[in-house]
């Protein structure tokens, strides 16, 4: 077995630089803060620039289907940068999760996604883990009826991809948002605001049947890419705090010279390095279609979910009072991190799946399933 | 002869007499409160003539209970926390007779609400690094600077203020303590929004604010000593009576666990039980501390309680969101509000999670409290201090 | 409901002082260290002094049965001091667990225990929690046959109290050690060395039938008193480390002036205070026969078990190299703490029981038992 | 043209030739090793004439593999860890030609085992606080003092020694580095027993030990610089090839979990899975670090690896005892032994628990490593140092 490369390739470094430059240029923290008061004007132009100008929308779509044919490694690099900027764009929900759910279906939505002219969202609650059955709606004669709550990416989407219960299994229907009631809900993380969706005999187009594996693959890749996003969040928190404590002076000396704080930041650094390794491994395993990909994802998802929360909590505490204010961006990362911890499977769910996969079952019997 | 019971009985009689003479239902609210103050039933441990009777502080509880029973109006203590808890004891300790005459009664009756102008953006945990300047101009002081984290500034008539009167001596030596009129035209109050979306606190900008020298508390240059008296009052307040099991955040989470059988998972249960046990441990530690104080074995252990409280509130509110899953991803309301009190239990779980982050920062960060425990309780040596003997002006900012 | 007193009464303070003086006078750490090389000469005279001269053997036995009629509060105070000195005496096993198992039986062993002329041990593995069934031996015609492993206090005992399976439930038989094979086993904590017991038709005297409640009460009190012992261990570790770091100088200053270490010790202080409160509450609740006694015990046992381990681990680390040596006493406390964590129920077992008692069951159904 | 392959091929040829000329089975062991040294196949990155060929260090692995394949005797590298890993590179960097002639070959062949006389009871983490004195006496130095934590002292013929030659200058400036003969009559080695019952290390007492000045390494007063070269070699050693999943302590605990279904409980499972994930994270971090080093992106991240390793070894070995319950209360053997290597996996769980406590102390405590990460990786400001400019003699001890 060749060892997977856990470093960033030159291509990935270039991609990172491009994305980072664009975000530094176009997105200030105050624009994200404004979203908490309902001002979402930043989203559309920023996403258009990333999706179309940089071509990120079609990053994961095979060239044959009109995309870039890049791998999870590159997508992960993008996610890291989006996390680092707390960027309010639907890359994860549209270009990763929705895209993987429909790739290979031959449906026209794939080409539209590849071109970045359509943005989509898989209509499942954002908390859904890749391991269990997903909530499904009902379809009759080409129309879909039902509701789904707390969907991420729906507010930015043109098309909703609806998991539908058919006689022979799960199907995916594409429903234009114009045919759905999409109600924005106040969300813990307004940089990825959720929505409740209601469909009442909404006309839909059947994208694919036998879709359980596709949905599972989509959510699994989502969890793996979210881990890289969480690494980005954690890296920002570490770097921002180090910078702040190097400058901030109290008791006549830089606050960053106090040993207790230094040790906490050093601990955090060790964790960020570890998280980076797990997220890189998950991305590399998915990119290589490695048999260890599911294990790798569960490791990265459970580790990085908690890492980002810890990093953001430490960042806030070590910033002191200023970290509690609306003006300072640290809260944007705390909210992003805490919401991401609950998204696409809670760390405990990932560890539970891992226990099955690596033969460390909870139960005293060896009857199989661990919960 | 049990003199303690004796005193309590006499006090009870006094209340009975007072209530007979002042019908709590028909008397004007402010008149009633003024009369209660004048009768020495405001804070019985204060001296006679100053709203008290010179008795033991623990006798206050029975007096308050009697008045509450009788349906008497209270002085809205939660609206004037700074005044009652911090300004009053500091006034009592350092105030001149004139100052006591002027300020104590309207403070206690709530006719004048007080706020605190200590914290500054540049100071943080280094409380003595106050940069707000007060310059003497005849019988007045002219004050310029900026304060922050001021609760109730928008409602307050008066403030306790710490300002630098001499920048040419070391940090702690150049401060003076004032009573500042919040209606001065040089005062501007701006709400400071917090990560919860709310604005509990304010920034206060002082521009050419004039304070008569008669409103100086303590000597010029003794502000740090006076401020410490105030701050010690803040930390001593460990709170009154017994606290039942599953009070506060642990109760919220336990209730949520009981109500959501479908969300139960072994990893969450493990953490729930650990935090439940720790919450009980903290509750029992508080109970033990109260018992110690009651028999006169006080100490700086209040710092330890605050550390535990902040840690538990934060970990439990974080767990609550994890327990709720999808519901935890939603928030109740981001609208800017200006509440006068924190409503931990009335708001949603996301609010609790965010607001609890402040518990380890406000009123002394957990890091400062750990220093206090290490040095004052355990007797470990202090950090090397580079700012002790340097004039404030020369300290790098 | 009157609030239980969590402070030490004057009587308890006097008792503490007496016990501490005797231990300081008679027991140096080197005597405990010697036990790891098999030298147990300290045990017998030390225990005789405590049991008979101070009368601790009969502390918990009612005056009517020849004892002192003291309560769990006083016994807990003694346990704290024994923990603080890592004292190798069978107070917990004989004067608490064995004594409570037979108190009220009217059997002559009670009077002998009260007088301190007999030392006893309840023959159950030291790891046994108070919540499940205990392992039982078989009795035929007044003789007992079977084996029990890893029993604490057996090496110091004159009489073994054997749980025996009878037709109508659990009985306790007293068997003189001379009739048993008691094999000492190398133990993690040699200050409370364990033994394996084998009985081959050993003649025994039936102490009581219907003994399940007595055994349970004995183990529960044992767990509660062990919590106080653990507080004693933790207090020693904290105080010893603070003293050491105040004196020890490195880099030209006292090591105890380094902030990272100060914060860790302050954290430990907070935990020791909390542990003290839980242990005091458990002792007070048992002394008052409070309905909350089982909850109180489970809280104290789970909290203090981990507290003592944490305190000993921190003490070792903060002592640095010297803490890793055989000469320095810190390892005696680490071994005592780690073994105590596994004794009379693991913290997880106590929390599991607590979950049932306070209605926080793990299972999604409300079928009752939580595991 | 791939010059790298080219070099590797030529090296391989050289080994083939050597093996043809020196039958690894029939040649006397020491003769064989001496010849291998002389052929430059001992450590190929050392210069020609010093046991090497001046090649890249990563080529050594293939050479060692070839010799192992051929059944050649090795130089018992685990018996002479200090000599090979620390003394040799320091000699190479600071040794005179005479010193290299005298010491390198018998060091590499294992004819002379080395130990390290740096640590002292009074110094601890403050490595430069060496109190052992070396006083010049003509062409010799006379050394008196006490060292500690010396592994292999009972087998060593030679030692690298750090001693104070000038107490009147600041701490770091008064040290000198020597090669000390361990057979000198003034040397007394006493086993130092550890909490496991074993004695891996020794105390070494030096009384009037005489060292010729020709055995001084580096200039008088430059001992700290030379010692740092040695210590950096200690920390660089991150170890060679890929590490499979569930290696080391996590594998032991996972195996125990699989073998003991009756002991499974949800709280233990939660901790097992957390530590399993953390162990994987640490393993992948190590893999990533190796990949970085291979493409020449080194850094001080080795400190981070050591921190993770110590923490995981301690937490996992603690969990193992909890998982075992009654069995965890028993210990395998307290008998005093003097092993030359630590046998983590061959001994019992109690031993593992106790021995792992040393992982965060030996070779740099975790606290010192955290300082290193904070200052050298994150660039946070150093602590205020009070001992930098004071003569060693005047520092309070």
Residues 6 or more apart whose CB falls under 8 angstroms from that of C78 comprise: C15, C16, C19, C56, C59, C91
Kindly give the residue spans of alpha helices, DSSP state H, lying in chain A.
10-26, 29-35, 43-48, 72-84, 99-102, 108-115, 212-247, 259-287, 293-319, 330-342, 347-357
CA B153 to chain CA centroid, nearest Å? 14
The predicted model gives D177-191 an average pLDDT of 97
Please check the confidence at residue A367 and state whether its pLDDT lies above 50. no
Read off the pLDDT band of D386 (50, 70, 90): confident
What pLDDT score was predicted for residue A252? Answer: 87
Q: How many CB atoms lie within 10 A of CB B47?
A: 13
What average pLDDT does this structure show over B362-375?
Answer: 93
The pair of structure tokens assigned to D75 is: 């130089």
Which CATH number does B227-377 carry? 1.20.140.10
E strand spans, C17-127:
120-122
Residue A166 and residue A26: Cα distance in Å, rounded? 44
**How many of the other CB atoms lie within 10 Å of CB of D135?**
12
Inter-chain residue contact B273 with C354, CB threshold 8 Å? yes
Q: Please check the confidence at residue D390 and state whether its pLDDT lies above 90.
A: no
For chain C, what's the residue count? 371
Select the residue of C263, C265, C274 nearest B281 (Cβ to Cβ): C274
**Closest approach of chain A CAs to the CA of D250, in angstroms?**
12
Q: What are the residues facing C152 on neighbouring strands?
A: C194
Tell which phi-psi region holds residue D11, choosing left (phi > 0), alpha (psi between -120 and 50) or beta.
alpha
Q: What is the rounded CA–CA span in Å between residue B315 and residue A310?
A: 11
Average pLDDT rounded to a whole number, residues D176-187: 97
When mean pLDDT is compared across A347-356, B105-114, B178-187, D225-234, the lowest value belongs to D225-234
Which SS3 state, helix, strand or coil, does residue D125 take? coil
Task: State how far the Cα of B42 lies from the Cα of B200, in Å rounded to an integer.
Answer: 28
Q: What angle do CA C64, C67, C69 make, to 5 degrees?
A: 80
Strands (E), chain B: 114-117, 133-137, 140-151, 158-164, 175-181, 187-192, 201-212, 216-217
User: Does the beta carbon of A150 lie under 8 angstroms from any beta carbon of chain B?
Assistant: yes
pLDDT, residue D61, reads: 87
Tokens of B196: 């919860």
Q: Which residues of D are designated catalytic?
A: 234
Backbone φ and ψ of B193, nearest 5°? -80, 145
Instruction: Place D238 in a pLDDT band, splitting at 50, 70 and 90.
Output: very low
Residues of A with CB below 8 A from B147's CB?
Answer: none
Q: What is the pLDDT of residue C364?
A: 57
Instruction: State the average pLDDT for chain D.
Output: 92
User: How high is the pLDDT of residue A368?
Assistant: 36
Higher-scoring residue by pLDDT: B234, A212? A212
Give the model's pLDDT for residue A61: 97
Interface test mutation site (partner B, options C2, C3, C274, C371, max chain B beta carbons within 10 A): C274
If you count residue pairs, one on A and one on C, with CB atoms under 8 Å apart, how many are there? 12
The average pLDDT across C355-359 equals: 97
Residue-wise pLDDT tens digits, D250-298:
999 999 999 999 889 989 999 999 999 999 999 999 999 988 887 766 5
- Which has the closest alpha carbon to C282: C221, C214, C339, C216? C221
* Structure token pair of residue A275: 């998280």
Report how far Cα A350 is from the mean position of its chain's Cα atoms: 15
Size of interface A-B (CB pairs under 8 A): 136
A357 C-beta neighbours (distance < 10 Å), count: 14
Q: What is the pLDDT of residue C368?
A: 36
Residue A41 is encoded by which pair of tokens?
A: 């004007």
Confidence of residue C369 (pLDDT cuts 50, 70, 90): very low
Residue D58's pLDDT band (boundaries 50, 70, 90)?
Answer: confident
What is the separation of C-alpha D171 from the centre of its chain, rounded to a whole number of angstroms? 25
Comparing CB atoms, the residue among C127, C187, C317 nearest residue D360 is C317
* Tens digit of each residue's pLDDT (9 = 90 or more) over C41-57: 999 999 999 999 999 99
Q: Which residue's structure tokens are 């931990």?
A: B344
Cβ–Cβ < 8 Å for C187, C81:
no
Segment D118-140 mean pLDDT = 93
Per cent of chain D over pLDDT 70 is: 95
Partners of residue C198 on adjacent β-strands: C147, C181
In Å, how far are C137, C138, C199 from C170, measured between CA atoms?
10, 10, 18
Above 90 in pLDDT, residue B391? no
The per-residue pLDDT for range A3-17, each reduced to its tens digit, is: 999 999 999 999 999
Of the candidates B285, B370, B375, which has its C-beta nearest C267's C-beta?
B370
CB A338 within 8 A of CB A346: no
In this predicted structure, the answer to whether residue A364 has a pLDDT above a threshold of 70 is no
| Residue-level length of chain B | 397
**What does the CA dihedral B253, B256, B262, B265 come to, rounded to 10 degrees?**
10
Contacts of D269 in chain A (CB under 8 A): 355, 360, 362
Mark which residues 109-128 of C lie under 8 Å from D by CB: 125-127
Mean pLDDT of the region B43-64: 92
Whether B25 shows a pLDDT value over 60: the answer reads: yes
> B245: helix, coil or strand?
coil
Burial (CB count <10 Å: 0-12, 13-18, 19+), residue B164: buried
Q: What is the mean pLDDT of chain C?
A: 95
For D387, the closest of C149, C251, C342 (CB atoms) is: C251
| CB C115 within 8 Å of CB C58 | yes
Among A140-154, A301-315, B225-239, where is mean pLDDT lowest? Answer: B225-239
Choice between B394 and C35, residue whose per-residue pLDDT is larger: C35
| % residues pLDDT > 70 (chain B) | 95
pLDDT class of D100 with cuts at 50, 70, 90: very high
Measured in whole angstroms, the distance separating CA A345 from the mean position of its chain's CA atoms is 11
Question: Do A227 and D281 contact (CB within 8 A), yes or no?
Answer: no
pLDDT of residue B343: 84
Cα(B116)–Cα(D325) distance, rounded to whole angstroms? Answer: 56
Which residues make Cβ contacts (< 8 Å) with residue A21, sequence separation at least 6? none
- Map C144-171 to HEC letters: EEEEEEEEECCCCCCEEEEEEEECCEEE
pLDDT the model gives residue B175: 96
Q: What is the mean pLDDT of residues D372-382?
A: 94
Full-model pTM: 0.94
The answer, yes or no, to whether residue D397 has pLDDT greater than 80, is no
Prediction ipTM score: 0.94
Average pLDDT for chain B? 92
Q: What is the rounded average pLDDT for all residues in chain A?
A: 95
Read out DSSP for B73-106?
A: ----GGG-HHIIIIIHHHHHHH--HHHHHHHHHH
Q: What is the pLDDT of residues D134-172, one digit of tens each?
A: 999 999 999 999 999 999 999 999 999 999 999 999 999
Q: What is the mean pLDDT of residues D166-179?
A: 95
- The Cα B294–Cα B288 span in angstroms is 10
Spatial distance between the Cα atoms of C347 and D267, rounded to a whole number of angstroms: 9
So what's the pLDDT on residue A158? 98
A263·D285 Cβ contact <8 A: no
Q: What residue spans define the domains of chain B?
A: 1-74, 227-377
Q: Looking at the complex, does the CB of residue C329 fall below 8 Å from at least one CB of chain D?
A: no
Q: Long-range contacts: B311-315, Cβ < 8 Å, 24+?
A: B311/B360, B311/B366, B312/B249, B312/B250, B312/B275, B312/B278, B312/B279, B312/B282, B313/B248, B313/B249, B313/B356, B313/B359, B314/A313, B314/B356, B314/B357, B314/B359, B314/B360, B315/B275
* pLDDT digits 0-9 by tens, C314-332: 999 999 999 999 999 999 9
Chosen for mutation from A223, A362, A363, A366 (greatest number of chain D CBs closer than 10 Å) is A362
CATH fold label, A213-358: Butyryl-CoA Dehydrogenase, subunit A; domain 3 (1.20.140)
Indicate the pLDDT class of residue C104, thresholds 50, 70 and 90. very high
- Catalytic, out of B111, B188, B222, B234: B234
Q: What is the percent of chain A with per-residue pLDDT over 90, rounded to a whole number?
A: 94
Which residues in chain B are contacts of C5 at CB distance < 8 A? 291
Distance in Å, alpha carbon of D321 to nearest chain B alpha carbon: 19
Unique residue bearing structure tokens 């006549």: A252
Nearest residue in D to C309, CA atom: D318
**B119 vs B108: CA distance, rounded Å:** 24
Give the DSSP letter of residue C92.
I
Range with lowest mean pLDDT among A181-185, A261-265, C280-284, D152-156? D152-156
Gap between the Cα atoms of D352 and D349, Å rounded? 5
| Residue D52 β-bridge partners | D48
Q: Which of A342, A345, A353, A370 is the mutation pick for testing B, counting most B CBs within 10 A?
A: A342
pLDDT given at position A310: 98
Question: Confidence class of residue B299 from pLDDT cuts 50, 70 and 90?
Answer: low
Q: How far apart are CA A298 and CA A294, in angstroms?
A: 6
């Amino acid at each position: 077995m060749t060892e997977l490369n856990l470093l960033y390739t030159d291509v990935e470094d270039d991609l990172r630089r491009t994305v980072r430059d664009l975000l530094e240029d176009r997105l200030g923290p105050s624009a994200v803060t404004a979203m908490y008061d309902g001002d979402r004007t930043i989203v559309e132009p920023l996403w258009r620039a990333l999706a179309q100008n940089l071509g990120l929308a079609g990053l994961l779509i095979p060239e044959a289907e009109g995309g870039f044919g890049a791998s999870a490694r590159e997508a992960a690099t993008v996610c890291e940068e989006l996390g680092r900027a707390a960027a309010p764009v639907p890359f994860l929900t549209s270009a990763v999760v929705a895209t993987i759910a429909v790739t290979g279906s031959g449906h026209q939505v794939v080409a539209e996604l590849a071109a970045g002219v359509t943005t989509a969202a898989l209509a499942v609650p954002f908390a859904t883990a890749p391991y269990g059955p997903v909530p499904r709606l009902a379809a009759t004669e080409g129309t879909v009826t039902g509701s789904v709550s707390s969907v991420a990416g729906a507010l930015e989407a043109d098309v909703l991809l609806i998991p539908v219960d058919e006689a022979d299994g799960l199907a995916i229907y594409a429903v234009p948002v114009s045919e759905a009631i999409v109600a924005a809900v106040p969300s813990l993380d307004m940089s990825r605001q959720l929505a409740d969706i209601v469909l009442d005999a909404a006309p839909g187009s059947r994208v694919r049947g036998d879709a359980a594996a596709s949905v599972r693959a989509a959510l699994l890749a989502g969890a793996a890419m979210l881990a890289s996003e969480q690494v980005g969040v954690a890296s920002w928190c570490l770097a921002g705090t180090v910078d702040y404590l190097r400058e901030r002076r109290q008791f006549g000396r830089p606050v960053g010279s106090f040993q207790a704080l230094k040790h906490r930041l050093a601990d955090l650094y060790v964790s960020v390095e570890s998280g980076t390794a797990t997220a890189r491994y998950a991305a590399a395993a998915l990119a290589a279609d490695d048999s260890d990909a599911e294990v790798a994802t569960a490791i990265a998802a459970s580790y990085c979910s908690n890492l980002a929360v810890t990093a953001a909590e430490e960042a806030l505490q070590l910033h002191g009072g200023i970290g509690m204010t609306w003006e300072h961006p640290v809260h944007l990362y705390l909210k992003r991190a805490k919401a991401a911890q609950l998204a696409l499977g809670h760390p405990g769910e990932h560890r539970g799946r891992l226990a099955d996969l690596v033969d460390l079952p909870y139960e005293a019997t060896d009857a199989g399933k661990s919960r | 002869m049990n003199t303690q019971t004796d005193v309590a009985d006499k006090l009870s009689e006094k209340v009975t007499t007072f209530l007979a003479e002042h019908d709590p239902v028909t008397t004007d609210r402010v008149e009633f409160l003024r009369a209660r103050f004048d009768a020495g039933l405001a804070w019985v441990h204060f001296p006679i003539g100053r709203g008290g009777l010179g008795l033991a502080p623990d006798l206050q509880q029975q007096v308050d209970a009697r008045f509450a029973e009788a349906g008497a109006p209270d002085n809205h203590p939660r609206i004037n926390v700074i005044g009652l808890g911090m300004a009053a004891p500091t006034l009592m300790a350092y105030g001149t007779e004139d100052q006591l005459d002027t300020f104590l009664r309207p403070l206690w009756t709530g006719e004048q609400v007080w706020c605190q102008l200590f914290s500054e953006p540049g100071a943080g945990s280094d409380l003595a690094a106050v940069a707000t300047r007060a310059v003497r101009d005849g019988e007045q002081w002219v004050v310029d600077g900026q304060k922050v984290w001021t609760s109730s500034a928008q409602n307050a008539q008066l403030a306790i203020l710490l300002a630098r009167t001499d920048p040419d001596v070391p940090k702690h030596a150049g401060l003076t303590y004032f009573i500042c009129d919040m209606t001065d035209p040089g005062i501007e109050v701006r709400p400071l929004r917090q990560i919860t979306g709310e604005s509990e606190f304010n920034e206060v900008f002082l521009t050419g604010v004039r304070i008569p020298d008669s409103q100086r508390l303590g000597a010029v240059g003794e502000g740090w000593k006076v401020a410490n008296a105030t701050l010690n009052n803040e930390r001593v307040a460990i709170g009154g009576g017994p606290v039942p099991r599953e009070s506060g955040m642990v109760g919220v989470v336990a209730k949520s666990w009981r109500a959501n059988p479908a969300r139960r998972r072994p990893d969450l249960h493990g953490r729930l039980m650990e935090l439940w046990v720790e919450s009980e441990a903290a509750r029992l530690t508080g109970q033990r501390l109260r018992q110690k104080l009651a028999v006169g074995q006080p100490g700086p252990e209040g710092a330890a309680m605050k550390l535990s409280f902040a840690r538990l509130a934060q970990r439990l509110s974080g767990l609550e969101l994890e327990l709720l899953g999808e519901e935890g991803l939603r928030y109740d309301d981001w609208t800017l509000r200006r509440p006068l009190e924190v409503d931990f239990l009335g708001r949603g779980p996301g609010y609790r999670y965010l607001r609890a982050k402040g518990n380890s920062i406000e009123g002394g960060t957990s890091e400062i409290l750990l220093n206090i425990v290490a040095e004052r309780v355990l007797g470990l040596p202090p950090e090397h201090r580079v700012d002790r003997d340097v004039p404030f002006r020369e300290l790098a900012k």
